[in-house]
């Protein structure tokens, strides 16, 4: 890792809220620090990232299922001239 870069790992809990066999939506909840018990992001799991059939994907991630999630965020310094917010 280059100087000025760092990775942050956070443990999250998730619950499958939707699964149509092509993708599943998971609501995440913080497990540590100031995010503990807070609703965070909704993430998507895409069936194309697996070798599952539609039916297998729905069985693997049924609605209501709880998931353990590890989120990695990589942070790197940029020069102010490289920053765009559009």
Confidence at 82, pLDDT banded by 50, 70, 90: low
pLDDT of residue 83: 65
Confidence at 77, pLDDT banded by 50, 70, 90: confident
Per the model's pLDDT, the better-predicted residue between 82 and 16 turns out to be 16
Helix (H) or strand (E) holding 54: helix 54-60
Q: What is the pTM of this model?
A: 0.78
Helix (H) or strand (E) holding 34: none
Q: Name beta bridge partners: 69.
A: 12
Model confidence over 13-49: pLDDT tens digits? 999 999 999 999 999 999 999 999 999 999 999 999 9
């Amino acid at each position: 890792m280059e100087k000025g870069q760092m990775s942050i790992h956070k443990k999250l809990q998730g619950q499958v809220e939707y699964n149509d066999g092509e993708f599943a939506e998971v609501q995440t909840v913080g497990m540590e620090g100031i995010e503990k018990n807070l609703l965070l992001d909704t993430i998507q799991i895409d069936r194309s990232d697996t070798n599952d059939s539609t039916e297998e994907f729905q069985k693997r991630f049924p609605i209501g299922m709880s998931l353990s999630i590890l989120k990695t965020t990589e942070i790197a310094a940029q020069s102010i001239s490289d920053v765009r917010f559009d």
